[in-house]
């Protein structure tokens, strides 16, 4: 009887392992970068556009979502052009040596690069200054 129970337990374990997602598929369950907004849309549509979970691309340990396959393909061909600076952290906080989650609805393109912020700035110049200072501090807090 114990032998039969042991055999059934082995079968049950094998079936459970077959049903449980593999480590590779678990790695794909990443939280979308920039809250799921399409990074290419900031450039092409001049506004934040929510991406779709069915159109994604993994880059630099982050999963980016896109509103269209065309945007995904543009990103995949040149991710350095479209990815948000500082991994999508708030550029204003980075300029003060801190890591703070950004609000992807507060953004600017400065010198052809996408920066997201956690708070509105008083002027376009303030956004540009924060981005410039953040670029000098990023390597120290990365």
Judge whether residue 2 has pLDDT over 70: no
Report pLDDT for 29. Answer: 58
Domain boundaries, the chain: 31-80, 84-142
82-120 pLDDT, tens digit each: 999 999 999 999 999 999 999 999 999 999 999 999 999
Predicted TM-score of the model (pTM): 0.78
Query: What is the C-alpha separation between 10 and 35, in angstroms, rounded?
Result: 42
Q: What is the largest CA-CA distance in the chain?
A: 79
Report pLDDT for 142. Answer: 84
DSSP state, 31?
Answer: P
Query: Who has greater pLDDT, 16 or 110?
Result: 110
26-70 pLDDT, tens digit each: 445 589 999 999 999 999 999 999 999 999 999 999 999 999 999
Question: H helices of the chain, where?
Answer: 2-19, 23-27, 41-44, 69-77, 79-82, 91-94, 124-141
Report pLDDT for 84. Answer: 98
């Amino acid at each position: 009887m114990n032998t039969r129970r042991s055999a059934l337990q082995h079968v049950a374990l094998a079936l459970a392992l077959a049903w449980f997602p593999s480590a590779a598929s678990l790695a794909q369950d990443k939280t979308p970068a920039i809250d799921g907004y399409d990074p290419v849309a900031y450039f092409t549509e001049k506004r934040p556009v929510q991406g779709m979970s069915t159109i994604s691309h993994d880059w630099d340990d982050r999963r980016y979502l896109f509103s269209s396959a065309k945007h995904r393909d543009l990103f995949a061909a040149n991710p350095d052009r479209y990815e948000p600076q500082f991994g999508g952290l708030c550029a204003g906080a980075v300029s003060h040596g801190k890591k703070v989650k950004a609000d992807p609805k507060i953004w600017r393109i400065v010198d052809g690069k996408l920066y997201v912020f956690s708070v509105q700035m008083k002027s376009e110049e303030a956004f540009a200054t924060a981005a410039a200072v953040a670029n000098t501090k990023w390597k120290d807090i990365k």
